[in-house]
Chain A
Amino acid sequence: QSALTQPRSVSGSPGQSVTISCTGTSSDVGRYNYVSWYQQHPGKAPKLMIYDVTKRPSGVPDRFSGSKSDNTASLTISGLQAEDEADYYCCSHAGMYTLVFGGGTKMTVL
């Protein structure tokens, strides 16, 4: 069970859009529509931003959206705001009731 692959860092200017990828295999991301995304600010617990690939929990701005193609899931943040600067993690069901996280992406607002 290997960690999902995410870029170490991404950046964008306020108002722009950024996309964070999360690449797995045909045994996890590619097989199940159970990818979730988490935002983590320094010293804080992670917060659920997207679940079931595309769904947003109540209270999460619609600037955050998710998608999936084959073995790669993506999180897009549009209309970047300063408070979006954080670490982002993806997570996928990996079969046999196991779960796997991505390595995390540091998102910087320039």
Chain B
Amino acid sequence: QLQLQESGPGLVQPSETLSLSCAVSGDSISSSRFYWGWIRQPPGKGLEWIGHIYYSGSTYYNPSLESRVTISVDTSNNQFSLRLSSVTAADTAVYYCARIRTTSNWFDPWGQGTLVTVSS
């Protein structure tokens, strides 16, 4: 059964870089049928697509975050990562990783999510 698990610091200082990883188990991240993506949800608010990556390294980002976001893939360890630079309190959110079907772009499954708080 495919599972995704986020990991990373729960507290990040303002202006620093947020770094998270997503470990994939039960399927190969090198599948040609899927992308691997990140979504976030500020407390009490809705979902926001951050971006996604193909196993080849091709990346696609939300235009509103593109200048600060980097998503990378590590096929040898079957995981992918998110880096968000110059964070502010507005970046405080639960961050989810998910598998995304190519073409149709549906998200399934999702990781359990990890809360990242930006505060000094």
Contact = CB atoms under 8 A, between A and B. Distances in A.
Interface of A: 1, 3, 34, 36, 38, 45-48, 51-52, 57, 89, 91, 93, 97-104
Contacts of B107: 36, 38, 46, 48, 91
Contacts of B105: 34, 36, 91, 93, 99
Contacts of A100: 49
A98 B46 contact: no
Interface residues of B, number: 23
A99 B104 contact: no
Interface stretch (B25-33, B78-86, B109-117): B109-117
B75 interface: no
Contacts of B63: 1, 98
B74 interface: no
A104 B45 CA distance: 8
B48 interface: yes
A44 B53 CA distance: 24
Given A34-B104, A93-B105, A98-B62, A104 B110 contact: no
Nearest to A33: B104
Nearest to A103: B46
Of listed A47, A48, A99, A100, residue having the most chain B CB within 10 A:
A99
